[in-house]
Chains A and B, each alone.
Chain A
Amino acid sequence: MSVPVLETHHIVRDYHVGRTLFAGGQVIHAVKDATLKVEKGKTLAIVGESGSGKSTLARILTLIDPPTSGELLIEGERVDIIKTGVSKQMRRKVQMVFQNPYGSLNPRQKIGDVLAEPLVINTDMPASERQDRAQQMLKKVGLAPEHFNRYPHMFSGGQRQRIAIARALMLNPSLLVLDEPVSALDLSVQAQILNLLADLQDEFQLTYVFISHDLSVVRYIADDVMVMYLGEVVEQGSREAVFADPQHSYTKTLFAATPRADVASIKARLARRAAEIA
């Protein structure tokens, strides 16, 4: 592998809360010292519960918010939002898919316009070509061309998530940050979306940063795993290493808390319960 698609060094993000004219207020460390690296075509999963700072980190990786300190490199190029801003070129390289498919599509925009908007803003492509590109993308994510002129509220959650993914891919990004992309979806739809993401990764050599709290999904999709707890990176490593032999006590707690749906553990539970009652 040559240059990693995404690389960060010691990213820190602080928030100041309750600061008034007279009192300094408090500083909250949302992300403390996150260093990571993702190679092309790979998936890094960031695992954490609410308050772990994973969404804050996602906003930094997608160039929405600047880090308080630390370095962010996209395809080897250093990005500093505060000093130099984000160039259009850079913006096209990183796209994002959100958790809530009901909130991430503009309810007043037709699907065709949702998909074409990134092209309208970033390119001077003629309308007919934009429409062709959007149609193709719609087909790629498993939707039909007749969906083109409909509004988001006419689609189910899974279909909306497909649209959101299609939109994110319109500018041919190299990095896709997926913030809990399947946690709002039903189990059967979740499987479809995960399959779709895997297919697209193969086809476009996409690099994913996959943020999730669901370990079973992470185990399925990730190459590398990073566990965050209260803003801190407590565990980092390849999927096999982390799942086989978690080091940090929080990771262990997290694994233990994940419900198990295999026959053996059900049997064990039923036996325990029978013993309790007897």
Chain B
Amino acid sequence: MPLLDIRNLTVSFDTSIGLFKAVEGIDLSVDAREVLAIVGESGSGKSVEMLAVMGLLPPSATVTADKLEFDGKDLLHMPPHEKRHIIGRDIAMIFQEPVASLNPCFTIGFQIEEVLRFHLGMDRKQRRARAIELLHQVGISDAEQRLHAFPHQMSGGQCQRVMIAMAIACKPKLLIADEPTTALDVTIQKQILDLLVGLQAQHGMALIMITHNIGVVAETADRVIVQYRGHKMEESDVLTLFEAPTSPYTRALLSALPDNATGDRLPTIGDFSAEPAI
């Protein structure tokens, strides 16, 4: 049985110019211990569907699905107070802007311990010990001192490490990473990706990687879903995707990589077809 099982998910927003469907009829499933990458450009709905899973969409959004199950439990019709105990404990999420994701008013130690207190009900001493352990796990060496640091005293890469520490604090079964390295430098990106994949293998959790970066997909994923304007274009394992992509959109996307340039011009989506077939 898949860990996360979504059938026919549709998310629409009520805007000033009418109803806008951000995601339409998406099927998606993740097994335990699997790294799934969802790739798409802006407007592909890749973040929206994960926010829908987390229940983090604004009230103007309407979420419908035939099935939205996590670990055998129906997330769609679950009462909010029950959901709060799953979100953040069994499903954790990290975001694109690490510095903005941390509360600037509190030390990072306090913020990590807050998660432990709320979800696991640990006492003060246990929390402190666990927080230090977590920081070590995400590769922050001087953990004892760093607990007293405020987010603005740390670099973007370190903040993202802290975010990851908070996310794995409760040993989640599923970690959703929404563009976790987009705001970071290339060398830092490499470290964070290695850390994420390492932790995933070590803890045996499932990892959903939302990204627009083909390179990140190639470096991390087992299986890939390609999305365009709220529709699924292609789903395959990572090697097949790069070796023999089936959808024209994926082919266009891959050939737009400057690495794959032949001659002095890059093929663009427009050269393939004005609109990918939906």
Contacts and interface: CB of A to CB of B under 8 A. Distances in A.
A and B touch in the complex (CB under 8 A): yes
A254 B186 contact: yes
A186 interface: yes
A188 B189 CA distance: 22
B219 A269 contact: yes
B264 interface: yes
B215 interface: yes
Given A191-B266, A198-B264, A262-B259, A257 B186 contact: yes
A181 to B, nearest CB: 13
B214 A258 contact: no
A187 B216 CA distance: 13
A61 to B, nearest CB: 22
A195 B201 contact: no
Contacts of A215: 186
A49 B266 contact: no
Contacts of B218: 259-262, 265-266, 269
Nearest to A255: B186
Interface in A201-220: 213-217, 219-220
A50 B187 CA distance: 11
B168 to A, nearest CB: 18
A117 B156 CA distance: 38
Given A186-B212, A188-B253, A50 B259 contact: no
B252 interface: yes
B186 A258 contact: yes
Interface string B18-43: 00000000000000000000000110
B214 A195 contact: no
B261 A263 contact: no
B187 A266 contact: no
Interface residues of A, number: 39
Contacts of A118: none
Interface stretch (A103-111, A128-136, A270-278): A270-278
A191 B259 CA distance: 11
Nearest to A215: B186
A19 interface: no
A68 interface: no
Contacts of B215: 216, 258-261
A194 interface: yes
B258 interface: yes
Contacts of B254: 261
Contacts of B139: none
Interface in A228-278: 253-254, 256-263, 265-267, 269-270, 273, 276-277
Nearest to B237: A270
A188 B41 contact: yes
Contacts of A187: 41, 212, 214, 253, 256-257
Nearest to B252: A188
A141 B167 CA distance: 45
Contact of A213 (B156, B185, B219, B267): B185
Nearest to B191: A257
Interface of B: 41-42, 156, 185-190, 193, 201, 212-219, 238-239, 242-243, 252-254, 256-259, 261, 264-270
Given A217-B258, A220-B266, 14 more contacts: A186-B212, A187-B41, A190-B256, A219-B258, A220-B259, A259-B193, A259-B218, A259-B219, A260-B219, A261-B214, A262-B218, A262-B259, A266-B238, A270-B238
